[in-house]
């Protein structure tokens, strides 16, 4: 166990852990968006999908606890690496490239912590039904307690909630864009030959994922996806 802790404490170990956990979380964001896109096919599809997930029973809990562990490790390692970076160089370099790197990594901590706040809100909203119990009640009232379509569409009929989701998708965009670039760097792909391609690819992937989530919320608000009666 000590060697594992020492690996986590080392600078290279920290980067490897950030890359692996970041990659897994990236996979979750893709899978979650693909699942949510079923909103566009109407209530039956997304409700059947939610029921299928809930019917996994204990397996769903294993996945949830695994996701939480990956998330906690990602946040804790990110904060530790950023502190170590700051401690190693209390006075920043004068060269512009390094200043840009410092800004990027500082903004990662900021966008990361903002996403943490979003996820806490999101769980209180959709998974635990604390922030808007009236939305959550619509889910429970559906057949077998799985009317996720009614819960999500009632929520996104509220402009303030949609505005909050859209703002957090902008934050998600910046976090993913830089995260994908960092992952490429850890994998040794930071050669000048690849840089332009990695920058374009990270922009595109982050825009599709964050934009996809934002478009879903806006589609309900503007009546493209019909709100449940
Ligand atoms: C328009 C965008 C989104 C919609 C409509 C949406 C919808 C939902 C719904 C309905 C649930 C609860 C599922 C249930 O209990 O049956 C959920 C859970 C969750 N969402 Fe989202 N989500 C969105 C964006 C995001 C984003 C951007 C993230 C993370 C970056 C995220 C992370 C999570 C997590 C971690 C859970 C908990 C999973 C679980 O309870 O098993 N969601 N989401």
Average pLDDT over residues 117-140: 92
Q: Output the ligand 1 site: residues, CB below 6 A.
A: 29, 32, 36, 50, 64, 119, 122-123, 126-127, 148, 152, 165, 172, 213, 216-217
Q: How far is CA 113 from CA 54, 69, 76, 78, 208, in A?
A: 29, 16, 11, 10, 22
Distance CA 56, CA 44 (A): 19
Residue 9 pLDDT grade (very low, low, confident, very high; cuts 50, 70, 90): confident
Going from the Cα of 197 to the center of ligand 1, the distance in angstroms, rounded, reads: 31
Question: What kind of fold does domain 2-90+97-221 have according to CATH?
Answer: 3 helical TM bundles of succinate and fumarate reductases (1.20.1300)
Ligand 1, residues 34, 36, 69: which to mutate, most atoms within 8 A of Cβ? 36
**Around Cβ 180, how many Cβ atoms within 10 Å?**
21
Distance CA 127, CA 136 (A): 8
Give the residue among 183, 130, 140 at the shortest CA–CA distance from 16.
Answer: 183
Give the residue among 167, 153, 204, 117 at the shortest CA–CA distance from 36.
Answer: 153
Distance CA 202, CA 221 (A): 28
Average pLDDT over residues 16-35: 96
Q: What is the residue-averaged pLDDT of the chain?
A: 89
pLDDT in tens, 195-226: 889 999 999 999 999 999 999 999 999 999 98
Residue with the bigger pLDDT between 139 and 167: it is 167
Tokens 């512009």 belong to: 96
In the prediction, which pLDDT does 45 show? 92
In the prediction, which pLDDT does 166 show? 98
Going from the Cα of 30 to the center of ligand 1, the distance in angstroms, rounded, reads: 11
Q: Indicate whether 96 pLDDT > 60.
A: no
Going from the Cα of 183 to the center of ligand 1, the distance in angstroms, rounded, reads: 24
Are 200 and 208 in contact by the 8 Å Cβ rule? The answer is no
Ligand 1, residues 69, 126, 174: which to mutate, most atoms within 8 A of Cβ? 126
Q: Indicate whether 150 pLDDT > 80.
A: yes
Instruction: Provide the percentage of residues in the chain whose pLDDT is more than 90.
Output: 67
Would you say the pTM of this structure is higher than 0.85?
yes
In the prediction, which pLDDT does 148 show? 93
Residue with the bigger pLDDT between 106 and 77: it is 77
In the prediction, which pLDDT does 191 show? 79
In the prediction, which pLDDT does 102 show? 54
Going from the Cα of 84 to the center of ligand 1, the distance in angstroms, rounded, reads: 32
In the prediction, which pLDDT does 138 show? 87
Return the biggest CA–CA distance within the chain.
63
Residue 4 pLDDT grade (very low, low, confident, very high; cuts 50, 70, 90): confident
In the prediction, which pLDDT does 89 show? 63
Going from the Cα of 32 to the center of ligand 1, the distance in angstroms, rounded, reads: 7
**Helices H / strands E in the chain, number of each:** 9, 0
Distance CA 206, CA 55 (A): 31
Distance CA 176, CA 107 (A): 12
């Amino acid at each position: 166990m000590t060697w594992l802790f020492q690996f986590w404490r080392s600078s290279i170990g920290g980067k490897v852990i950030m890359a692996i956990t970041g990659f897994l979380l990236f996979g979750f964001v893709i899978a979650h968006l693909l699942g949510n896109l079923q909103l566009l096919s109407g209530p039956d599809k997304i409700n059947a999908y939610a029921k299928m997930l809930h019917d996994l029973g204990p397996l769903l809990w294993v996945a949830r606890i695994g996701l939480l562990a990956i998330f906690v490790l990602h946040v804790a390692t990110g904060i530790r690496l950023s502190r170590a970076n700051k401690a190693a160089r209390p006075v920043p370099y004068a060269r512009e490239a390094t200043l840009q790197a410092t800004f990027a990594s500082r903004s990662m901590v900021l966008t990361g912590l903002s996403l943490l706040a979003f996820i806490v809100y999101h769980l209180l909203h959709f998974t635990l039904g604390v922030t808007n119990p009236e939305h959550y009640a619509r889910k429970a009232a559906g057949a077998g307690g799985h009317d996720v379509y009614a819960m999500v569409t009632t929520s996104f009929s509220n402009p303030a909630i949609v505005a909050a989701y859209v703002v957090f998708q902008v934050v998600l965009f910046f976090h993913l864009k830089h995260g994908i670039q960092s992952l490429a760097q850890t994998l040794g792909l930071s050669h000048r030959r690849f840089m332009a391609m990695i920058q374009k690819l990270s922009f595109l992937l982050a825009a599709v994922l964050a934009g996809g989530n934002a478009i879903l919320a806006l589609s309900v608000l503007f009546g493209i996806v019909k709100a449940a009666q």
